Amino acid sequence: MATLTILKYPDPFLKKPAASVPEKEDMEGLVQDMFETMYAARGIGLACPQVGIGKRVIVLDVSPVDEASKPLALINPEIISREGKEESEEGCLSVPELSVKISRASKVTVSGYTPEWELVQIAAEGILAIALQHEIDHLDGVLIVDYLSRLKREFYKKKVKKMYAQRM
């Protein structure tokens, strides 16, 4: 297993939609590396584009917030139904030092494949529903900064440039 490098905004790769994974492609090693990377970064979700891989694969573990949850990896996930509305503050491993209030569906049903290529449907609500929508956004090239107004997004871009300049 290996810890992968998490891309940070404004890396242009984060805005590229990910490609579907061909059926039966071996994903075990990649999924393990993604879990290791997510845990090392203290996150609850990670999508392949965040580590520079253009594949529709996500990993989640919301158990720090919802103890009843178990780790989950999905290949080619898609939201097949949405219900209700809920606003919550979201952060992102690829968008440091930013929290955005986002309105999302309060309940979702997601279809996708396990790493063993078993087709599953997951009915989710609460933090799991939010995390699934957030990670699927990454697969579509959508970041939490895209939910900000243009003015707030420009302010954040300036903050990021200053933050990266100070680290050099």
168 pLDDT band, cuts 50/70/90, is low
H helices present in 6-125, as ranges: 28-40
* Confidence (pLDDT) at 117: 96
Collapsing DSSP to helix, strand or coil, 121 comes out as: strand
Between CA 168 and CA 152 the distance in angstroms is: 25
3-state helix, strand, coil in the chain (%, to 5): 35, 30, 35
φ/ψ of residue 166, rounded to 5: -70, -25
Q: Is residue 25 annotated as part of the catalytic site, yes or no? A: no
Mean pLDDT of 112-141: 97
- Please state the rounded mean pLDDT for residues 106-134: 97
pLDDT score of 52 more than 80: yes
**The pTM is what?**
0.94
Active-site annotation holder among 78, 83, 125, 135:
135
pLDDT-above-90 percentage for the chain: 86
Winning range, highest mean pLDDT, from 66-70, 96-100, 130-134: 130-134
Assign domain 12-167 one CATH number from 3.40.50.1000, 3.40.50.300, 3.40.30.10, 3.90.45.10.
Answer: 3.90.45.10
DSSP three-state, residue 40: helix
Q: What is the pLDDT of residue 13?
A: 98
